[in-house]
Amino acid sequence: MKLLRFGTAGQERPGALDTQGRVRDLSGVVADIDGATLSDEALAKLRAVDLDTLPLAPADVRYGPCVGKVGKFLCIGLNYADHAAESGLPIPEEPVLFTKATSAIVGPNDTVLKPRGSTKLDWEVELGVVIGKTASYVDEADAEAHIAGYCVINDVSERAFQLERGGTWDKGKGCDTFGPIGPWLVTRDEVADPANLKMWLKVNGKTFQDGSTATMIFKPAFIVAYLSRFMTLQPGDVISTGTPPGVGLGQRPEVYLDVGDVMELGIEGLGQQRQVVAQA
């Protein structure tokens, strides 16, 4: 299934794509697409619904973040060897963990705001993992069963805030609108191999990132098992698993986003996003 949320920001309704790619309204079936509806049992009930009997959403409807009420927004840094190299940083021996504020979460095509004082606004197409079952000290072999599905994430970053302002990376990662998620949450049964998906990102029509999840250092199941050693992962938590090379920081000379720039990005089978940069 391709689950989604649609409508005005803050008032999104749950939905799903039918076989013709149209948005069907699930609000008569579930209250939202969130942790409460992401267990295997709840997803099985949704699969049993005849989508063709449900109301259609307007054709031009806004897509919201594909997961609501996100409890934790966790991110893995430097998870592609070639991205670590372009960043001038060593390949990590263990996953590098940081967090994005949940207030950064927006829809896949919403405006991205350039923060006041920003000088190095950057992009990162990433595979998102959405937790469907509580995970605490799980083994890697069992970790996939704790994943509800996958989605596209743009890990928007402000490099000066991240790397030049002291402390951890979080200051450059959690600004408002820095977490576009969606358009869809694709359930794990429809993603044959999450570690072998093409991914890409363009700025103003120019391709900067053209990679694959195949070059991830730490794969999704390992990441879930690893993180579950340090904290309990709960249904609806989102993990952004790192980016391939081609970010603005890695260009020579470096290239950063400015007001009016347009980002387009996507991952094979998981949909596409488009954001325009505006001033905060």
The token pair that represents 77 in the structure block:
């840094």
129 forms beta bridges with 150, 239
258 forms beta bridges with none
Cβ-based neighbours of 203, under 8 Å, separated by 6 or more: 123, 255, 257, 261, 262, 263
Average of pLDDT values for 4-20? Answer: 97
Region of residue 190 (left: phi > 0; alpha: psi -120 to 50; beta: else): alpha
Question: How far is residue 4's CA from residue 65's CA, in Å, rounded to a whole number?
Answer: 7
Distances (CA, A) of 186 to 51, 90, 252: 16, 33, 36
User: Is the confidence at residue 171, as pLDDT, over 90?
Assistant: yes
Question: How far is residue 273's CA from residue 182's CA, in Å, rounded to a whole number?
Answer: 7
Average of pLDDT values for 181-200? Answer: 97
Average of pLDDT values for 7-23? Answer: 97
pLDDT given for residue 92 in this prediction: 87
In single-letter form, the type of residue at position 35 comes to G
Give the rounded distance of the alpha carbon of 198 from its chain centre.
15
pLDDT given for residue 90 in this prediction: 83
Question: How far is residue 60's CA from residue 173's CA, in Å, rounded to a whole number?
Answer: 30
Residue 88 confidence class, pLDDT cut points 50, 70, 90:
confident
Residue 89 confidence class, pLDDT cut points 50, 70, 90:
confident
Q: What is the pTM of this model?
A: 0.97
Task: Identify each DSSP E strand in 163-250 by its residue range.
Answer: 179-180, 185-187, 198-203, 206-212, 238-240
Residue 31 confidence class, pLDDT cut points 50, 70, 90:
very high
pLDDT given for residue 145 in this prediction: 98
Residue 117 confidence class, pLDDT cut points 50, 70, 90:
very high
User: Is the confidence at residue 146, as pLDDT, over 80?
Assistant: yes
Q: In what order do the strands lie in the sheet with 112-114?
A: 112-114, 271-279, 262-267, 198-203, 206-212
Cβ-based neighbours of 164, under 8 Å, separated by 6 or more: none
pLDDT given for residue 148 in this prediction: 98
φ, ψ for residue 214, nearest 5 deg: -65, -20
Average of pLDDT values for 99-110? Answer: 98
**What is the widest separation between alpha-carbon atoms in the chain?**
55
In single-letter form, the type of residue at position 36 comes to A
pLDDT tens, 213-230?
999 999 999 999 999 999
pLDDT tens, 40-78?
999 999 999 999 999 999 989 999 999 999 999 999 998
The token pair that represents 32 in the structure block:
């939202």
Q: Hey, what domains does the chain have and what are their CATH numbers?
A: 68-279 (3.90.850.10)
pLDDT given for residue 246 in this prediction: 95
Percent of the chain surpassing pLDDT 70: 100
Question: How far is residue 37's CA from residue 122's CA, in Å, rounded to a whole number?
Answer: 33
pLDDT given for residue 109 in this prediction: 98
pLDDT given for residue 83 in this prediction: 78
pLDDT tens, 191-211?
999 999 999 999 999 999 999
